[in-house]
Structure 1
Amino acid sequence: MTSRRALLKMGCACCVALAAPAYAVAQTPSPEVAQHLAAARGAAGSDLGAYLVLGRSADPNFKAPAPDLEALMKIPAPPPGRAFDNLYFVGSKWVSTWAITTSDGIILIDAMDNEEEAERIVENGLKSLGLDPAKVKTVIVTHGHGDHYGGANFFAQKYQSRIVASDVDWTMMETKLEFDTPLWGRPPKRDVSVVDGDKVTLGDTTIDILITPGHTMGTISPIFDVRSGSQKHRAMLWGGTAFNFGKKPERLQAYIDATARTREVAKQQGVEVFISNHNGYDGAVDKLAAKTGDGPNPFVLGAPTVQRALTVMNECAQATLALWKS
C-alpha cells in the first residue's frame, strides 16, 4: 500500500495549479534566473497568472506543497458544460475530461482518476448534456499518470472504446509507473500507439498528435478544430504542465524545447483556444459559468494570448534550469 507521504507527493505531481498564488523568490536570484522570471511575468500579464506557479521551482528555498489527493478527489464535481458546439467539459474541479463530438461518435481526451469517476462524472455528465456515452469510440490519454488514464478501462470494457496513448508512455505504463496510488485505476492495456505527427480520425474530425515531452516523455498535446455556429477555431490542449519529475536537467530541457516548438506550431496553425487537463491552469469551470449564448466565448483567447501562455511556461522552465545549473 502506498504510504500517505508518497501519496501527497503524487498529488503534488499533477495538481500544483490548484494552489497557484503568484510566486515570490525568497532570495535574490541570479541575473539569468531573474531575467527568465521577469519574462514570464511580462508574458503572463493580468490574465495568465495561473501558469506563473511554475516559476516557484526557480526559488532554491521553494518546497513543493503537499496537497491531499484524496481530498482533491472529494471536491464536488462542477456541472458539465459545452465550451463549443463540438467540445464539452465533463471533468472534476481539479482534473478534466473533454469530449469532442464527431459525425461518427465521441472522442474523449483523458478519463479521470478511476473507473468510479469515469462512471459518475464522465458517463453521467455526458448523459446530462444529451450525449450518448455508448458513442465514445476513442479515448486519448494525454500522458501516463493515473489521474488521466485511471478511468480508461471503464470505457474500454463497457463500450469497447479504443484507447490511444503515445508509444513512449504506453511503455512507461507497462513497465514502471512514475507515480501510483490505490486511488487511481490501473493502466489500460496497450491499444492504439501514436507518435509525433500522427493523426487520430473519427468521422468528420481529425486530431493532430503533437508530442510535447517533459511532464512525461510521451505527453500528447492534441490539436483540433472547434466550432461555434459558422465560426471555426483551432484549439490545443496542453497535455502536461507541471515540472513533476525531480531535478533532471535533460528532462526539463525537453520541456523547454517542447514549449518553444509548440509555440511555433501554434503560430503556424493559428491556435486561439488553449485548454488544459487541469482546471487550475485554464480556468475552464469559471469560463463555462461565464459563457453566455450571445457574448464572446471566453475560451477563445486569441492567437497572441496562446503565444503568451506557452512563453510563460517556457520562461519558467528556463528559470528553473538556470537555477539548477548555477
Structure 2
Amino acid sequence: MAVTSRRDKIDEGMESGMNRMMVSAASFIVMLAAASSGSAQQVPKPIAEWPRPAEFPKEDRAAAIQHFHKARDYAVGDLFADFALRCVTNPKYLTRVNNEQYDGHVEPMQVFDDLYRVGQMAVSAWALKTSDGIVLFDTLNNEEEARDILEPALRKVGLDPKDVKWAILTHSHGDHFGGAPYFQRKGTRIIASDLDWKAMAAGKGRVPAPSRDMTVTDGQTMTFGKTAVTFYVTPGHTIGTLSTIFPVTDRGAKHLVGFYGGAGLPRDVDAKRAQIASLSRWRTITTKAGVDAQIGNHPLNDEGLERDEQLLYRRKQDPNPYVLGRAMYQNYLGIQEECVRFALARDGFRD
C-alpha cells in the first residue's frame, strides 16, 4: 500500500496552485486579447477614407443662391431645423443624415387625442384611432418590425393591434410597406395608389410586397368610422406617393393634419421636378383646406424626437409642437419646395 508523505501533499498542493495560476494567467491573456481586438476595431479610419461632402460641378450658382435664400426666409422659429436638413446637410453631408436615421427604439407617443406615433428611430408609423377601428399609416421595414416594434408600441399606448383594420402606405419604399404582409394576413386592408401598387409589384422596394388590395385616387375621400381622410397623389419621392389630410383633436381642440407622403429629396432631375410640382400643388390644397398641423413619415422629417420630448414634458399652458398654425405650415412647405429647387440648381438645372 502506497504511503503519502506530508512532503508529497505539499508538492501536490504547489502543483495544483501553479495549475490554477496558469489557468488564471491564460484567462487573463484571452481577456486582454479580446480587449485589444475590441480596441483595434475602434481605431479611426485613415483621414483619406473619411466621407467627403458631395460636390456639384454643374451647379447653376445664381439659381442656387436665389433658392437657398428663399428657403432661408421661410425658416422662421423652429422651422430652421427643416431648412438645415433640406438645404444644408442633405445631400451634401449625407453620412450625417444617415447616421441620424438609425434603426433604434423610441418611445411610442400619443401626439393628438386620436393620433399616435408607433414607429422607430429611422422610420415612422402612425396609428389613427377612429370609431370603427385603427388606421395605420405605414408599417415599417419588415414583418419582424411589425410584430416586435409596431404591435408592442400599439399596446403601450393603450391600443389593441387586433383593431388595426386599415393600413395606408404613403409610398412604395420598403421601409414603409415592409410590414404590410404581416398585417394583411391578419385581415387588415391595405391602401395605396395605383402607381405605387405597380411599383411594389415590380419589386422596387427590395422586400416582399403585400398583395394588391384597395386603391385610392387623387382627391378621393374615405371615411373610417366618423373620421374622413382625403387622399392626394403627389409624385416625386416615388411615382405614386400618397399625401393625406384628416382631422384630429388636441385636448378637445380641433386641428387639421396635412401629411405629405414623401418629403425626402429625389435623386434624379425628373423626380425633383415632379416633387416641386407636387409641393406647389400641395401648398394650394392645404391652404384652401386650412391645414395647421404637420406630421412626417420619418422622425427626421418632422423633428419627431424633439417634438415628442416636448409632449412628454408638456404643461397645461404649452401648445402642441405638431400644431404649426396655418401660416407656419405653409412656411414649412415653402422650405421643402425651395430646397428641392436649390438641389435642382446644384444639378445645373432649373424648373
TM-score by length of 2: 0.77
- Residues 186 and 317 of structure 1: is their aligned pair in 2 closer, same or farther, counting only changes over 3 Å? same
Amino-acid identity (%): 36
Match of 2:70 in 1: 39
Match of 1:214 in 2: 236
Match of 2:139 in 1: 111
User: Which of 178, 183, 194 is equivalent to 2:216?
Assistant: 194
User: 2:246 and 2:96 mapped to 1: Cα distance?
Assistant: 34
Q: 1:116: Cα distance to partner?
A: 1.1
Other structure's SS at 1:221 match? strand
Other structure's SS at 1:33 match? helix
- RMSD after superposition: 2.5
Q: Does the 8 A contact of 1:50 with 1:281 survive in 2? A: no
Q: Does the 8 A contact of 1:58 with 1:320 survive in 2? A: no
- Residues 119 and 154 of structure 1: is their aligned pair in 2 closer, same or farther, counting only changes over 3 Å? same
Match of 1:297 in 2: 320
Match of 2:87 in 1: 55
User: 1:67 and 1:229 mapped to 2: Cα distance?
Assistant: 34
Matched, 1:136 2:169: no
Other structure's SS at 1:130 match? coil
User: Which of 173, 187, 193 is equivalent to 2:200?
Assistant: 173
Q: 1:320: Cα distance to partner?
A: 2.0
Structure index of larger Rg: 2
Q: 1:324: Cα distance to partner?
A: 2.8
User: 1:67 and 1:198 mapped to 2: Cα distance?
Assistant: 34
Q: Does the 8 A contact of 1:234 with 1:273 survive in 2? A: yes
Higher relative contact order (CA 8 A, sep 6+): 1
- Residues 186 and 47 of structure 1: is their aligned pair in 2 closer, same or farther, counting only changes over 3 Å? same
Match of 2:261 in 1: 239
User: After TM superposition, where is structure 1 displaced by more than 4 Å over at least 4 residues in a row?
Assistant: 23-29, 56-59, 66-69
User: Which of 161, 174, 179 is equivalent to 1:146?
Assistant: 174
Match of 2:43 in 1: none
TM-score by length of 1: 0.83
Matched, 1:275 2:295: yes
- Residues 201 and 42 of structure 1: is their aligned pair in 2 closer, same or farther, counting only changes over 3 Å? same
List alignment gaps of at least 5 residues for structure 1: 1-22
Aligned partner letter, 2:116: Y
User: 2:304 and 2:348 mapped to 1: Cα distance?
Assistant: 36
Other structure's SS at 1:226 match? strand
Q: Does the 8 A contact of 1:90 with 1:98 survive in 2? A: yes
Matched, 1:161 2:191: no
List alignment gaps of at least 5 residues for structure 2: 1-53
Other structure's SS at 1:300 match? coil
User: 1:314 and 1:105 mapped to 2: Cα distance?
Assistant: 35
- Residues 127 and 293 of structure 1: is their aligned pair in 2 closer, same or farther, counting only changes over 3 Å? farther
Q: 1:321: Cα distance to partner?
A: 2.0
Match of 2:32 in 1: none
Match of 2:226 in 1: 204
Q: 1:229: Cα distance to partner?
A: 3.5
- Residues 66 and 300 of structure 1: is their aligned pair in 2 closer, same or farther, counting only changes over 3 Å? closer
Other structure's SS at 2:285 match? helix
Aligned partner letter, 2:229: I
Q: Does the 8 A contact of 1:166 with 1:218 survive in 2? A: yes
What whole-Å deviation, never above 9, does each CA across 1:32-58 have from its counterpart, x for those lacking one? 110001111111234223333332599
Match of 2:15 in 1: none
Q: Does the 8 A contact of 2:192 with 2:216 survive in 1? A: yes
Match of 1:7 in 2: none
User: 1:24 and 1:296 mapped to 2: Cα distance?
Assistant: 41
Other structure's SS at 1:107 match? strand
What whole-Å deviation, never above 9, does each CA across 1:168-188 have from its counterpart, x for those lacking one? 0000111240x52xxxx4111
Aligned partner letter, 1:119: R
User: Which of 238, 257, 265 is equivalent to 2:277?
Assistant: 257
